[in-house]
Amino acid sequence: MNPMNAVRDMRTIKVLLTDAERIAREMGDEEPGAEHLLLSAMGLPDGAAARALGRFGVDAARLRAAIVQEHADALAAIGIDAATVGGEGRPAAALPVEPRSRLYRSSPSAQEAFQAAGAMARSAKQRLSSAHVVLAAADVERGTLARVLDALGVERAALRDAARGELG
């Protein structure tokens, strides 16, 4: 890969991980998970992730709402009404973004998806694109992101096709 592309990849990584952490904290989570990484990818300027998910009628707002709904449904399944106990989604639940370190914080699910996205870009000798994050997201089998994609009716094989289409 030419060195300029490596520099661009580093910028992409910085925005991707910084935004994932910001989004997670806005949503009241200490660390981003794979679901926040996908939300972050949908905001990347290359637009590939947003277009790929857009084919399923999913924009960032809808994905974000589905994540909140997934946690509320999971609590409802054991008889807890999230609206009365936790005030799920209320603005006060947001955590301040800590300005401290340059170290990115993320949960294992986000790290795994991020590493998978990078590995796919490298093996295809492509610049890192938000489409690689979508490909990695489509491979996640369990956990919040997988349940949210199921709830949104996003079929994985079709999502992979959409992401690959963006990579040309």
Partner 1 sequence: MERSPDEPATAIAAVIALRRLADRMERDAVDAAVAQGWTWQQIAQALGVTRQAAHKRHAARFRDRSRKTEDDR
HEC-encoded secondary structure of 17-80: HHHHHHHHHHCCCCCCCHHHHHHHHHCCCCCHHHHHHHCCCCCHHHHHHHHHHHHHHHHHCCCC
Residue 138 CA to residue 53 CA, distance in Å, equals 11
Residue 58 in contact with residue 67, Cβ under 8 Å? Answer: no
Residue 97 Cβ vs partner 1, minimum distance, rounded to whole Å: 8
Residue 155 CA to residue 41 CA, distance in Å, equals 19
94 makes contact with partner 1 (CB under 8 A): no
Residue 167 Cβ vs partner 1, minimum distance, rounded to whole Å: 31
78 makes contact with partner 1 (CB under 8 A): yes
Burial of 96 (0-12, 13-18, 19+ CB in 10 A): exposed
Residue with tokens 């952490």: 21
> Which residues are within 8 A (CB) of 124 and not within 5 positions of it... i.e. 6 or more apart?
167
157 makes contact with partner 1 (CB under 8 A): no
The interface region with partner 1, picked from 8-16, 51-59, 144-152, 158-166 by CB under 8 A, is: 144-152
The interface region with partner 1, picked from 15-23, 47-55, 81-89, 154-162 by CB under 8 A, is: 81-89
**Given candidates 4, 77, 103, 157, which one binds partner 1 under the rule CB under 8 A?**
77
**Given candidates 2, 84, 85, 125, which one binds partner 1 under the rule CB under 8 A?**
85
**Given candidates 1, 80, 119, 158, which one binds partner 1 under the rule CB under 8 A?**
80
Residue 38 Cβ vs partner 1, minimum distance, rounded to whole Å: 16
Q: Which residue ranges make up the site for partner 1 (CB under 8 A)?
A: 28-30, 70-75, 77-78, 80, 82, 85-88, 92-93, 95-96, 98-100, 142-144, 147, 150-151
